[in-house]
Amino acid sequence: MNCQSGIYKKGVRQLVNPHRKLREIAFVSQLLFLCTLLLFPQSVFSAAPELSFGLRTRLETAQVAEQHAHALTIKARISVTQNFLERFNTFLQLDNVVSLDDDKHSNGVNQSAYPTIADPKGTEINQATIQTDWLDTSITLGRQRIVFGDQRFIGDLGFRQNDQTYDALRLDKNLLSGSKLTLAYLHNVNRIFGDQAKSALSKTDTRFASLKGIRPKGLLGNHHIDGLLLRFNVNEWDHFDLASYGYAVHNYHAPTFSNRTFGIEGQYRQKFGHFKTKTALDLALQKQQSIQSDWIAYRKLSASIGYKMFQLGLRHEVLSEKNNAAFITPLATLHKFQGWTDQFINTPSLGLIDNSISVVFNARPWTIDIRHHLFTTDKGHIDIGKEVDIDLIFKPVRQHEVKLRIANFNPASDQIIKTNDVRKFFLMYSYNI
């Protein structure tokens, strides 16, 4: 018997797909929000609803070997905040993404002859939460944005037009003078591919025949999970911050993403005259459910020095390998790391070492960010390639931002891990997003 196949009948016995029940929970907070607006009398509201609007338009091009793709997408966002009964806050956020060049790229939902630019069109409930405070603890229920640290393990993929959000229950407890303990239970990941990315492929999809009409698990728009996240941020010193974390995630749709990860990270900041210095260390161990392996290690060491408008940074990051299994970060904001051409969304089976250097010039309203990456495998130290990334940002005020992003990956010769030259170009305007 396969419970995932739908409804199973034997005589009068009926077994309903358990994922359907869990999926229904995802809409509890959304219904609560609507009920507060429709059922409660106006006297229970502390004030009128607060509305905000956002807009982001992006031109993106991708060249993979000799294949070219381009996409012009526009994202519109409306957010509504409402307080009621003086202690409950509800938040609803709707996103709509339209594509003006839908036939010139693969969008992450439907695969065509063009390279992928993963910004599918559609309308989504991005966030819908109800929040309150009880015994000095903030409690948030519903579809929400969860970001920890620099988003290396838990993030929202905010660069893409469709965010990654979580159907979750979250508790935040302030401790000591500046520390915080966060505990969250996740039961669904709303991924960037959106609700259209269901298990069945479209017959027009170029992968339909080879995959027998079934979408790869890693490209589904929703992943049902049982996830427990625990993070303790200690901010009790002038120059030093410390955090420890433990993430246990069982992914029902994509078991290869299931893992238990435990780690600690520290950051030290110090100013010497006109010079600003910062160093950071992150160490973690991971056990994966789908394979029989030892604990797999992760480490990241970074350092930077800034003088007036300039900053120079160095970074050494290792996603290790054990018994042909590599360290994974499936819930991270992956576009932020290991180059903006997104060549290492999935860690190579031999592991990955990323050594990078960055130079940043910041003179408001202008920012120039230049990065250079050298990629090798953890096992065997095979040279994979190098990448150069450039950001040019103009931000005259907080609400408006224009960004030009260029990324160029060049593979090393005599290796089969990454063999294509990849070039990407992004031109974006954002208003209040």
Question: pLDDT by residue for the chain (433 residues), tens digit each?
Answer: 333 333 333 333 333 344 444 455 555 555 555 555 555 555 566 678 899 999 999 999 999 999 999 999 999 999 999 998 888 999 999 999 999 988 899 999 999 999 999 999 999 999 999 999 998 899 999 999 999 999 999 999 999 999 999 999 999 999 999 999 999 999 999 999 999 999 999 999 999 999 999 999 999 999 999 999 999 999 999 999 999 999 999 999 999 999 999 999 999 999 999 999 999 999 999 999 877 768 999 999 999 999 999 999 999 999 999 988 999 999 999 999 999 999 999 999 999 999 999 999 999 999 999 999 999 999 999 999 999 999 999 999 989 999 999 999 999 999 999 999 999 999 999 998 8
Look at residue 147 and tell me if it is in a domain: yes
Q: Provide the β-strand partners of residue 428.
A: 58, 403
Residues linked to residue 186 through DSSP beta bridges, in sequence order: 168, 227
Q: Is 114 contained in some domain?
A: yes
Considering the domain boundaries, does residue 7 fall inside one?
A: no
The answer to the question of residue 9 being in a domain is: no
CA distance 221 to 164: 10
**Is 375 within a domain?**
yes
* Spatial CA neighbour of 293 closest among 320, 321, 322: 322
Backbone region of residue 194 per phi and psi (left: phi > 0; alpha: psi in -120 to 50; beta: other values): left
The string of DSSP letters for 24-49 reads HHTTHHHHHHHHHHHTS-GGGBSSPP
Which residues pair with residue 15 across a beta bridge?
8
- The Cα–Cα gap between 418 and 411 comes to 6
Count of the separate structural domains present in the chain: 1
Q: Is residue 359 part of a domain?
A: yes
24: containing domain: 16-431
Q: Is residue 6 a part of any domain in this protein?
A: no
Q: Which two tokens stand for residue 35?
A: 């009920």
The secondary structure element, H or E, covering residue 141 is strand 137-144
CATH number reported for the structural domain that contains residue 143 in this entry? 2.40.160.10
- φ, ψ at 3 (rounded to 5°): -65, -25
**CA contacts within 13 A on the Cβ side of 50:** 9
Taken in order 316, 319, 320, 321, the sign of the CA dihedral is negative
186 neighbors 229 (Cβ within 8 angstroms): yes
The reply to whether 2 falls in a domain is no
